[in-house]
Amino acid sequence: MREESTLRDIERAIVRIARSMGRRDMGRLVERTLGSRIDVSFLQLIGAVDELTEPGEAPTIKDIARWLDVHHSRASRLVKDTIRAGFLMRLASQEDARKSPLALSEKGREIAEAIHAARTKHLAARLHGFSKSDRRTFAQLLGRFAASKSEAHGNTGQSGPAAAVAPSPRRHRTRPRRKRTA
């Protein structure tokens, strides 16, 4: 098999994986797990805070914006809405009063657990029929792939899900700028 064909097969597989684990499908699985409805925009943010939270280190809006590959102002609005819904809370930073670290509320942690359960259930169904050895090999290769960075295509180490699926979207003007006349 030629390298180009192999890369095309990998690209197709990654797109299918991304689509199968998309917001709507995962949202439905999480809703079934919870037994109640939830806005899918909250799921992305809850998942981001959950993934970015390290022991002794809470993510900020800047971290969330980078992870979700959105502008800071968009991330700020999403955070505000998610706090209002009761899934997130702001913490006080001991090092820098300008920072606004974020943490999951008790309701947010329940949702994060439901997200993990839904993903695990989805993956278990997709991996049904794989041997234990194949699962281990797949996990190692996929982990290695996910950890790799490619500067050749402009990926500067972004770590969010958007980095693995598609280049970041750029806003372009749809109309040419008018020339200023004196």
Q: What is the mean pLDDT of residues 34-40?
A: 83
Residue 32 covered by a domain: yes
| Residue 180 belongs to a domain | no
Considering only 8-17, 36-45, 92-101, 139-148, which range has the smallest mean pLDDT?
92-101
Domain residues for the domain of 48 are 3-143
Q: Are 75 and 91 in contact (CB under 8 A)?
A: no
The model's pLDDT over 8-26, given as tens digits with 9 standing for 90+, comes to: 998 998 888 888 777 777 8
Q: Provide the CATH number for the domain around residue 122.
A: 1.10.10.10
Contact 69, 168 (CB under 8 A): yes
82-123 pLDDT per residue, tens: 999 999 999 887 777 677 899 999 999 999 999 998 888 889
Using CA of residue 54, residue 57, residue 58, residue 59, what is the dihedral sign?
negative
Cα 33 vs. chain centroid, distance in angstroms?
20
Q: Domain count for the chain, please give it.
A: 1
